[in-house]
Amino acid sequence: MNAPLNIQTINGPDGNPAFVVIPYAEFVEMRANDKDMIPDAVARRLLVEDMTPVRAWREHLGFTQADMATRLGISQPAYAEQEKSDRLRKSTLERIAGALGISLAQLDV
């Protein structure tokens, strides 16, 4: 990624840099390249609705539990148990992240 050329720094009342303004297109490009980003909708489900990360991501991406079970090669009830758990093994989280098409870092919050 190239460094933005049109950067504007805005100083605060104390004279120190407080904000940086960059062109919108460059901002969008930077966010698109952030593979570990967590969308606001997922964060809201985690924080406000108190969902597990697995469920929040599944619902955000529009998958059913049956879809996920098929992708993982397990039964829907087995997947439902995994989705409820907040203590999954790293290997299980890696498989679920792969089935969702996200990184482990995005799921392991």
- Is residue 16 over pLDDT 70? yes
- Is residue 41 over pLDDT 90? yes
For residues 23 and 19, give the distance between their C-alpha atoms in angstroms, rounded to a whole number: 13
Assign 5 a pLDDT band (cuts: 50, 70, 90). low
Domains recognised in the chain with CATH numbers: 1-34 (no CATH), 40-107 (1.10.260.40)
pLDDT in tens, 80-95: 999 999 899 999 999 9
Please state whether the predicted TM-score (pTM) of the whole model is above 0.85.
Answer: no
Binning the chain into helix, strand and coil, the percentages to the nearest 5 are 55, 10, 40
